[in-house]
Amino acid sequence: MASCLVLLALSVPPVGLLLALALLVRPRPVRIPLKGRHVLITGGSSGIGLALARSAAAEGARVSILARNAARLEEARDAIRRATGCDVSAFSADVRDADAVARAVEAAGPVDVLVCNHGVFVPQELEKQELEEVRFTVDVNLMGTFNLIKAALPAMKRRARDTGLPASIAIMSSQAGQVGVYGYTAYSASKFALRGLGEALQHEVIADNIHVSLIFPPDTETRALLKSIRGGQS
């Protein structure tokens, strides 16, 4: 095998070699079992996160949801219980606070499936937007995702090794993370950055049987979108 790779390196132009190596190491789609496994979902008190939590609970997963608003978390727990008959764990934390995130993740216990679904947006042309709003957007959407993954990853690796089952990190980007959108400069930048995070991270954790997914949803009927349409922030 080594001699074949040497011959390939000598006979193929650099760009072709990179493409060949990319095909060799590219992760393949893997189905992640949920029944009996721990799924932690951020932004789990409403919208997409709540829908994912309800679906995971219905499939027999042990579900934890994390969000800032404690009252909405309790409402979400009640909604999931009514819909599925299953109880879920709820943790209130601001994803910008790395220490608070670490405490919540430790309290929740080792995670098999981490869904980084939190996000905010403040629609505004960059020239008119305050830099504090830009920092807020980047800190929540990008740094909050770093905080969560950093907190959960060590135990995820151990659990995947001990169980022999594949684990998953799902990162919620956006269509605005693929195409720049007028008036969403800060939001688009933060969501484009998540793609770089996810693609690089996949190379780092694939050997640990952890699979990284990037999700690019379009506009979805959520509380955040309605606030955006009305001119507020999520």
> 13 and 83 share a domain?
no
Tokens of 79: 């909604």
**Of the listed 45, 46, 64, 173, which one is catalytic?**
173
pTM of the predicted protein model: 0.83
**Of the listed 188, 191, 228, 234, which one is catalytic?**
191
Tokens of 115: 């869904």
Average pLDDT for residues 149-158, to the nearest whole number? 98
Q: Name residue 91's beta-bridge partners.
A: 66
pLDDT tens, position by position, 197-229: 999 999 999 999 999 999 999 876 655 554 554
Helix axes 14-25, 2-11, angle to 10 degrees: 140
Q: Collapsing DSSP states into helix, strand and coil, what is residue 211?
A: strand
> 129 and 82 share a domain?
yes
190 given a catalytic annotation: no
Centre a 10 Å sphere on the Cβ of residue 96 and count the other Cβ atoms it contains: 17
Per-residue model confidence (pLDDT) at position 104: 98
Per-residue model confidence (pLDDT) at position 31: 84
> 18 and 77 share a domain?
no
Tokens of 25: 């190491």
> 22 and 44 share a domain?
no
150 given a catalytic annotation: no
In a domain, 234, yes or no: no
Distance CA 117, CA 30 (A): 20
> 124 and 216 share a domain?
yes
The count of structural domains within the chain is 2
Note down the domain range covering 24: 1-30
Tokens of 186: 């800060």
Half-sphere exposure of 50 (CA within 13 A, CB side): 20
Distance CA 202, CA 39 (A): 19
pLDDT tens, position by position, 126-149: 999 999 999 999 999 999 999 999
**Of the listed 187, 188, 190, 234, which one is catalytic?**
187
173 given a catalytic annotation: yes
Per-residue model confidence (pLDDT) at position 53: 98
pLDDT tens, position by position, 24-35: 556 567 888 899
Per-residue model confidence (pLDDT) at position 40: 99
> 8 and 78 share a domain?
no
Average pLDDT for residues 10-33, to the nearest whole number? 64
> 26 and 111 share a domain?
no
Higher-confidence residue of 37 and 12: namely 37
Average pLDDT for residues 72-100, to the nearest whole number? 97
Q: Name residue 114's beta-bridge partners.
A: 40, 169
Per-residue model confidence (pLDDT) at position 219: 76
Per-residue model confidence (pLDDT) at position 221: 62
Q: Are 40 and 106 in contact (CB under 8 A)?
A: no
**Residue 233 pLDDT exceeds 50:** no
Per-residue model confidence (pLDDT) at position 234: 39
* Residue listed under structure tokens 């956006």: 174
What's 107's domain CATH number? 3.40.50.720
